[in-house]
């Protein structure tokens, strides 16, 4: 197999895995907060979280480029203090990827948590356990299907993203050229064989992820019916 082919797949996998891990760490407290807090501006926060589901990727990509640009304060600060330019870098793409995959991690977790009976949490508190211990030992184990769905969806969505990665990353081989963009490239260069290989792998991974999600949820539903 081609070294370039493997390198492209490696970048795709790296992006998806790092995005999923970052979102797991950020998403758990955030979804806990959304599931159990009630405040007036909650619909606004929930709308912001859901935006990546409906916004065209080019809109998000555009705003990311603006944010990264040294012409504006954020990019300027990054340049001056850390000497980093995020546009057209892997790190820049990673940050954008975390933002546009946010709802895929947060929403299943939030829904899973709010579907749990309220008194599970309360029982744990009356048994002397802190909120953190309750989250990891009582709540999380009881939303396993939601957790698996969240991880699988985030991973699959990240692998499938095209527009934002292209805009923010710029299709640089070895740096930001992921499989979804490589397909487009190869077709432009009439390398249909290579394009086919990429397409097939992406198709297979996405398909397997979805089968996993549906199998896990089906088992959970049947178990509930008993």
Partner 1 sequence: MENDIIKIDVQKELLSANGRLNLHINATLKKGELTVLFGDSGAGKTTLLRMVSGLTAPDKGYIKVGNSVWFDEKTNINLPPQKRNIGYVFQDYALFPNMTVFENIAFGQKEKNYKYVSELIERFGISEFTNQKPVKLSGGQKQRIALARSLARKPDFLLLDEPLSALDSNIRISLQDEILKAHQFGNLTTLLVSHDLTEVFRLAQNVLKIENGKITRSGKPGKLFINNQISGKVQLTGSVIRIEKQDTFYLLTVVTGMNQIIKVTAFPNDIKDLYEGAQVVVFSKALNPIIMKL
Q: 72, 133 in Cβ contact below 8 A?
A: no
Residue the block writes with tokens 């508190």:
125
From candidates 37, 83, 126, 193, binder to partner 1 by CB under 8 A: 126
Query: What are the residues whose beta carbons fall under 8 Å from the beta carbon of 73, sequence distance 6 or more?
Result: none
43/117 with CB nearer partner 1: 117
C-alpha 221 chain-centroid distance = 25
Q: How far is the CB of 128 from partner 1 (least distance, A)?
A: 5
Cα–Cα distance measured from residue 114 to residue 65, given in angstroms and rounded to the nearest whole number:
36
Which conformational region is residue 170 in: left (phi greater than 0), alpha (psi within -120 to 50 degrees), or beta?
Answer: left
**What is the contact mask toward partner 1 in residues 129 to 168, using x (rule: CB under 8 A)?**
xx------xx--xx--------------------------
From candidates 1, 128, 188, 222, binder to partner 1 by CB under 8 A: 128
Helix (H, G, I), strand (E, B) or coil at 147: helix
Task: Indicate whether 123 belongs to the interface with partner 1 (CB under 8 A).
Answer: yes
From candidates 40, 43, 83, 117, binder to partner 1 by CB under 8 A: 117
Query: Interface residues for partner 1 in 178-217 (CB under 8 A)?
Result: none
Task: Indicate whether 222 belongs to the interface with partner 1 (CB under 8 A).
Answer: no
Query: What are the residues whose beta carbons fall under 8 Å from the beta carbon of 224, sequence distance 6 or more?
Result: none
Task: Indicate whether 14 belongs to the interface with partner 1 (CB under 8 A).
Answer: no
Size of the site for partner 1 (CB under 8 A): 18
């Amino acid at each position: 197999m081609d070294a370039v082919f493997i390198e492209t797949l490696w970048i795709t996998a790296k992006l998806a895995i790092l995005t999923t891990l970052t979102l797991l760490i950020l998403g758990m407290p955030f979804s806990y907060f959304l599931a159990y807090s009630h405040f007036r501006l909650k619909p606004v926060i929930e709308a912001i979280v859901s935006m990546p589901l409906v916004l065209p990727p080019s809109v998000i990509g555009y705003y990311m480029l603006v944010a990264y640009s040294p012409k504006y304060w954020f990019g300027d600060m990054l340049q001056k203090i850390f000497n980093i330019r995020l546009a057209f870098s892997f790190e820049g793409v990673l940050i954008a990827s975390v933002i546009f995959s946010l709802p895929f991690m947060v929403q299943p977790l939030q829904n899973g948590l709010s579907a749990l009976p309220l008194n599970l949490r309360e029982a744990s508190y009356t048994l002397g356990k802190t909120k953190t211990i309750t989250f990891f030992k009582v709540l999380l184990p009881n939303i396993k299907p939601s957790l698996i769905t969240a991880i699988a969806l985030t991973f699959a969505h990240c692998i499938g993203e095209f527009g934002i990665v292209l805009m923010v990353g710029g299709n640089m081989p070895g740096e930001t050229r992921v499989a979804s963009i490589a397909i487009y490239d190869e077709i432009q260069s009439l390398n249909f064989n290579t394009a086919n290989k990429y397409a097939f792998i992406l198709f297979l991974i996405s398909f397997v992820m979805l089968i996993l999600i549906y199998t896990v949820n089906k088992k959970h539903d049947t178990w509930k019916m008993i």
